[in-house]
């Protein structure tokens, strides 16, 4: 029976990738991990992975599917196409689900290279954060051929609560995710601005947080990220530098379409400023820490 199990490798075992890989294990898939972080690989092996490490040579030829949850297009290319990379070791017909947040142009370019090797690509960015990933309930915005969807269906069933099939054309999934990230980044930036104003006015931030999360101004991002501000905890489940990258993709997409995005452009500037001030590796909620003249929980004993 074990020989008939669907075999999937999750490349990128960060907060999202680790949750997705564990969801694949929970769904009964023969799951492998690929990451340069030995602690993450060891953690996945302990969770029941068949194997996990920084080299897929031993198992790549047995795989039915690959899920890429790395940070950016450069990492996608490195995992797939650098010497010793995954793509050349995969059997023709293997499904490759590219779930990093990348541009539509990068998605199309990667698809062309994979298709030339006989591989099936799904342009399939994800959302939902580490908690949804761990629960197998991510939202997936996917584009690709029917054959790619069919080949990767066991992976989609394992990791997603909702799969939106946005079309056959590679790049559509990436574009839907970029539009989504416009909202996500603006919501975090707006939440940070509101809480900074409350701090300047002397409103206790836990009170402000309670009011907003029970009123019409709330958003998922406010509720999730501003809780970190109230607690003074900037542990990076999603870092400032991720939104510097994602909002750059948003603004570049708009520039290519000659379309103005005043709010997204401002939010990009706020995140870039936070990164420049040394907060790039902190939680994206740390965008609030660039406002001058306020005291925040966790700062100097506040």
Q: Which of 118, 134, 169 is the last residue of a domain?
A: 169
Cα distances (Å, whole numbers) of residue 112 to 77, 82, 115, 122 = 12, 16, 5, 12
pLDDT for 302 beyond 80: no
Does residue 40 belong to any structural domain of this protein?
yes
Does residue 133 belong to any structural domain of this protein?
yes
pLDDT for 164 beyond 60: yes
Residue 3 has what pLDDT? 59
Q: What is the mean pLDDT of residues 30-37?
A: 97
Residues 41 and 128 in one domain: yes
Confidence band, pLDDT 50/70/90 cuts, at residue 300: low
The domain in which residue 8 lies consists of 2-169
Catalytic residue among 162, 177, 245, 295: 177
Q: Which residues are CB-neighbours of 218 under 8 A, at least 6 positions away? A: 212
User: Catalytic annotation on 132?
Assistant: no
Average pLDDT, the chain: 96
Q: pTM score, two decimals?
A: 0.92
The DSSP bridge pattern shows strands 126-127 and 138-143 to be antiparallel
Residue 171 has what pLDDT? 97
Half-sphere CA count of 125, side-chain side, radius 13 A: 25
Residues 28 and 159 in one domain: yes
Confidence band, pLDDT 50/70/90 cuts, at residue 178: very high
Residues 258 and 282 in one domain: yes
Q: Which of 136, 169, 202 is the last residue of a domain?
A: 169
Does residue 302 belong to any structural domain of this protein?
no
Does residue 297 belong to any structural domain of this protein?
no
Q: What is the mean pLDDT of residues 255-280?
A: 97
**CATH number of the domain where residue 104 is located:** 3.40.50.720
**CATH number of the domain where residue 195 is located:** 1.10.1040.10
Does residue 213 belong to any structural domain of this protein?
yes
Total number of domains constituting the chain = 2
Q: What is the mean pLDDT of residues 191-213?
A: 98
Residues 187 and 163 in one domain: no
Does residue 79 belong to any structural domain of this protein?
yes
Q: Which of 128, 152, 169 is the last residue of a domain?
A: 169
């Amino acid at each position: 029976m074990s020989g008939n199990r669907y075999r999937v490798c999750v490349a990128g075992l960060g907060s999202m990738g680790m949750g997705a890989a564990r969801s694949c294990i929970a769904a009964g898939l023969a799951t492998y991990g690929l990451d340069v972080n030995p602690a993450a690989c060891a953690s996945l092996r302990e969770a029941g992975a068949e194997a996990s490490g920084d080299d897929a040579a031993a198992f790549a030829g047995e795989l039915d599917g690959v899920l890429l949850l790395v940070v950016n297009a450069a990492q996608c290319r490195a995992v797939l196409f650098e010497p010793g990379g995954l793509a050349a070791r995969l059997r023709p017909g293997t499904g490759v689900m590219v779930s990093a947040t990348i541009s539509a142009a990068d998605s199309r370019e990667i698809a062309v290279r994979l298709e030339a090797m006989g591989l099936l690509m799904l342009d399939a960015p994800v959302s939902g954060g580490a908690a949804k990933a761990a629960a197998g309930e991510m939202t997936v915005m996917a584009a690709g051929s029917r054959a790619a969807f069919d080949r990767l269906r066991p992976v989609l069933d394992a990791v997603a609560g909702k799969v939106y099939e946005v079309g056959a054309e590679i790049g559509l999934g990436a574009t839907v995710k970029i539009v989504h990230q416009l909202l996500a980044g603006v919501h975090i930036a707006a939440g940070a601005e509101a809480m900074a104003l409350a701090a300047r006015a002397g409103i206790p931030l836990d009170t402000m947080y309670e009011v907003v999360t029970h009123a019409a101004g709330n958003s998922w991002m406010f509720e999730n990220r501003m809780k970190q501000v109230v607690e003074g905890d900037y542990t990076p489940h999603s870092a400032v530098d991720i939104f510097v990258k994602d909002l750059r993709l948003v603004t570049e997409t708009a520039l290519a379409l000659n379309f103005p995005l005043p709010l997204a452009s401002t939010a990009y500037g706020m995140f870039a400023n936070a990164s420049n001030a040394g907060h790039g590796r902190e939680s994206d909620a740390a965008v609030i820490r660039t406002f001058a003249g306020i005291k925040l929980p966790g700062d100097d004993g506040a």
